[in-house]
Structure formats: C-alpha cells, structure tokens
Amino acid sequence: MLGGAVTLITTDGKAGRAGFTASAVCSVTDSPPTILVCMNRSSYSNAFFRDNGVLCVNVLAPRHHVLSGRFANPGIALEERFANADWSRLATGAPALDHALVNLDCVIADTHEVGSHDICYCRVQAIRVSPDDEGLVYFNRAYHRLGAGSRVV
C-alpha cells in the first residue's frame, strides 16, 4: 500500500485530446528536468499520448477529487472528462488544469515497455505552481488531504 499524489495526465495534438488519472508519477532528474509517468498499454487513451508526444501532469488539490474520479472512469468519454473544469495551454499545447497545485508541461522523450505498462520519460518544458497548500493523495483505496496540518515532524 503506497500512497501517492493524485494527478491528471492530459494530452492534445494531432491524435486529439485525452487524459487519465494516475498516481505513478515521479521525478527522475533535475538536469535536464525529467519525470516519469506510468501508463497502462491497454488503456484506450495510450495511443493518443504516443501519437501526440506531449503531456501535462496536473497535480490535484482536494477540491479536484470528483474530477479525478471522472478521469479514472473508463465509462466516461474522453471529451466529457474535460467538462466542468477550466483548462489552458502552456508550452506544449497539452491541457493544463487551471488551479491545479502544479502543472508540469512535458515532451515525451522516451518510452519503455515494462509488463503491462509504458514508462514515459518526460522532459519538463514549463511549470506552473498554484499558491494552494493542500494536496490530494490516494492511500488505502481512499482520497486523503495532505497539508501543513498533517505533518508528523
């Protein structure tokens, strides 16, 4: 049981707009700024990311938990997932959620297949940070708030 930040991974380009919810995102290196995103190869949206070659990691705040559920639900059409939220574009053109804690706008530099997933190594092109001070984490099959009041040390 690993807890993880809840993110929306979004893309747009010649293949169209798509997105999914993920907690398998982490930093790889500061120079050049690179992160990795794990994506199930059998996911319908996988081809959109491969063809577009760009993505935005949108780190969510607690108020975004409903949006997280919408992007995680395979029964909701891709375009419907983007409804009822405000989006803008940064350097790559991938949808960046307005008022996310952080937007990491990236170009997919490399992809490796491991088991059922693609591991995408992504070079950060632009970063936008919100002044919000609470994050949304997923742990033990539930959403939790993470902020200054939850510090142990």
Q: What is the predicted pLDDT for the residue at 1?
A: 65
- Distance CA(140)–CA(54), nearest Å, equals 31
Strands 142-146 and 7-11: unpaired
The answer to whether 43 and 20 have CB atoms below 8 angstroms apart is yes
pTM of the model: 0.94
Structural domains in the chain plus CATH codes: 6-55+91-132 (2.30.110.10)
Rg (CA), the chain: 15
Q: What is the predicted pLDDT for the residue at 58?
A: 98
- Distance CA(71)–CA(76), nearest Å, equals 8
Higher pLDDT, 149 or 26: 26
pLDDT tens per residue across span 108-134: 999 999 999 999 999 999 999 998 779
Mean pLDDT of 3-16: 95
Mean pLDDT of 20-47: 94
